[in-house]
Amino acid sequence: MIFKPKMAASRVRDGEPLSIVSKIWPNKFQAQCESRSEPTSTQWIKRADTERLREIFMKYASVEVKGEKYMSYSDFIRKYLGMLPEENHNEETLRLLGNVVDTTKDGKISFTEFQAFEALLSLPDAMYELAFQLFDTNGTGAVSYDEFEQVLSHTTLHQYIPFDFKTDFVNLHFGRDKRREVSYAEFTQILHDFHEEHALQAFRRFDVDHTGFITPLQFYDILTSLKSHLLTPAVKENVVAVTCRAKGSKVAGSDKAHKVSFPYFTAFISLLNNMELVKKVYLVTTGGNKKATLTKEELLHECQYYTQLTPLEVDILFQLVDVLGQQGRVSWKELDALAPLDIEKMPFSQQSIKVRGRNTEQPGLSN
């Protein structure tokens, strides 16, 4: 989402980037894409063999220093990955992306670095690793506040709704003097918390009177600017209608009718984030029968075992299901239409399926 939010959003359902990648690494990110003989779903995560990889590398490497071939950032990002195709592309963007692969930070990409990048893609936490390397611009193995601000300020996310860096969020993670550096493990958590904090800031920005309410259109604005990766067409088309009709967003007898309350706002986003869990709960309850339908009460009963899913989230789920034309009953079809990610096609999912020798048809999260 950093540089091409539209591309990122539209690719989510193609099973390529997880939301985190669409935010951080806006690309198809298959370094070995050219090495596939057959594009089967599991094969693309396999590591390409060295010889084939070298062949690909040599095809793009335009720089030669003392008899050694290297890729320039432009060779790698623009010609090989096909990102930033515009002639007048942003040089800073190119530098930030090239820098991810150039671990020696000498401005060019060696075969070893190319190979390491390819290997990184087959790690189970590849997407977080990529994000970390993007933020760790000087390659010290830790992210400083300056790096965090520099990279985030360069995102379209920040351009839509500026992130306020002068907040407790920054103080808590980097210290008040901003001198604390963040390790990889901590960084993965920060990345997660950052998106929540940003949504929170956006709500406050629109709630100018501090009433705890925003309008459905403002809600729509926030969702499409900050959470577009969570919005399937079914959600996007119906979000305003749903929030206008929702009981949870009205205060009876007051002028707050048809407004979005803060709890509704957070529950809505949380539900979209949790859709894979909802699918799991559905499958457990129906014994794996995707044709079965469940009422709100049935689903709610099962959801008690999962603390992540609140009754308000289940309410919102059924409000969405209702506008999809299923009065009061939910089946796999509706869940699928609302779920932002096809988790079974995700690289980490494929990887763990492979490791455990499981069939890719099996539903559910692999972690």
167 belongs to the binding site for Ca ion (CB under 5 A):
no
Report how far residue 69's alpha carbon sits from residue 295's, in angstroms, rounded to the nearest whole number. 63
> Residue 95 or residue 290: which is nearer to Ca ion going by CB?
95
Count of positions (residues) in the chain? 367
Closest CA to 299 of 311, 289, 290, 287: 311
Q: Cβ(215)–Cβ(321) under 8 Å?
A: no
Shortest Å, Cβ 106 to Ca ion: 4
Size of the site for Ca ion (CB under 5 A): 3
Tokens 């189970």, residue? 124
Residue number, nearest CB to Ca ion: 104
Shortest Å, Cβ 108 to Ca ion: 5
Q: Which residues contact 65 (CB under 8 A, 6 or more apart)?
A: 108
The 19-58 contact track toward Ca ion, x by CB under 5 A, reads ----------------------------------------
147 belongs to the binding site for Ca ion (CB under 5 A):
no
Shortest Å, Cβ 113 to Ca ion: 5
Figure out which of the listed residues 16, 75, 102, 207 binds Ca ion, where binding follows CB under 5 A.
102
DSSP line for 15-51:
T-S-HHHHHH--S---TTGGG-SS--TTGGGSPPPHH
**Residues forming beta bridges with residue 92, ordered by sequence position:** none
Closest CA to 219 of 261, 248, 251, 254: 261
Shortest Å, Cβ 107 to Ca ion: 7
Figure out which of the listed residues 10, 42, 62, 104 binds Ca ion, where binding follows CB under 5 A.
104
106 belongs to the binding site for Ca ion (CB under 5 A):
yes
> Residue 119 or residue 240: which is nearer to Ca ion going by CB?
119
Per DSSP, the three-state class of 213 is strand
> Residue 102 or residue 334: which is nearer to Ca ion going by CB?
102
Q: Rule CB under 5 A: which residues touch Ca ion?
A: 102, 104, 106
